[in-house]
Amino acid sequence: MLKYSKLITGIVFLFFTSSAFSQLTLQQQDSIAKSLVPIQDKAVVFVIRPTAYAFAIRMDVKCDSVYIGTTGPKSYIYTVLSPGTYTFLSRSENKSFLEVSLEAGKIYYLEQQVKMGVIYAQTKLKLVEEEKGRKFLSKCKLDHTNQYAH
């Protein structure tokens, strides 16, 4: 049974990185992303912006200086990474850095908090527990502007 689980996970991972994923509807992409299971040699990281606060402000997210996507209100992005320590950056009026040590076979949830700033919204990244992360994820949609940023 474990062999089949690993095989299915591998096929799903290849599917996400293929052009076939971009041919699906946004609703299908969202559904598939939300049903990701831990990948044997990789870590999955969701960056979730669970509120509608500052709805007109989009916020860029980078991992070790590499752009992984932009979030809007009640949306999320995700990335699949090798194990190791990474620095995530969320940028708005300010910059918020969060260093996270990732282990293979795990899913991580980063909450992108939004607060009132001087000119416009400020941001802060926070690592949240799985239960809270899944709850946030269930109430958000995959950000449609990031179709190719996985």
Higher-pLDDT residue of 117 and 23 is 117
Q: Which CATH number fits domain 2-146: 2.60.40.10, 1.10.620.20, 3.40.50.300, 1.10.3720.10?
A: 2.60.40.10
Higher-pLDDT residue of 4 and 62 is 62
Please give the pLDDT value at position 87: 97
Q: What is the pLDDT of residues 25-40, one digit of tens each?
A: 778 888 888 888 888 8
Please give the pLDDT value at position 39: 84
| pTM exceeding the 0.85 threshold for the entire prediction | no
Q: Which residues contact 62 (CB under 8 A, 6 or more apart)?
A: 68, 88, 89, 91
Please give the pLDDT value at position 144: 67
Beta bridge partners of 63: 66, 88
Helix (H) or strand (E) holding 49: strand 43-49
The pLDDT of 88-97, averaged and rounded, is 92
The pLDDT of 105-125, averaged and rounded, is 89
Q: Are 98 and 127 in contact (CB under 8 A)?
A: yes
Distance between alpha carbon 131 and the CA centroid of its chain, in Å?
Answer: 15
Average pLDDT, the chain: 81
The domain spans of the chain are: 2-146
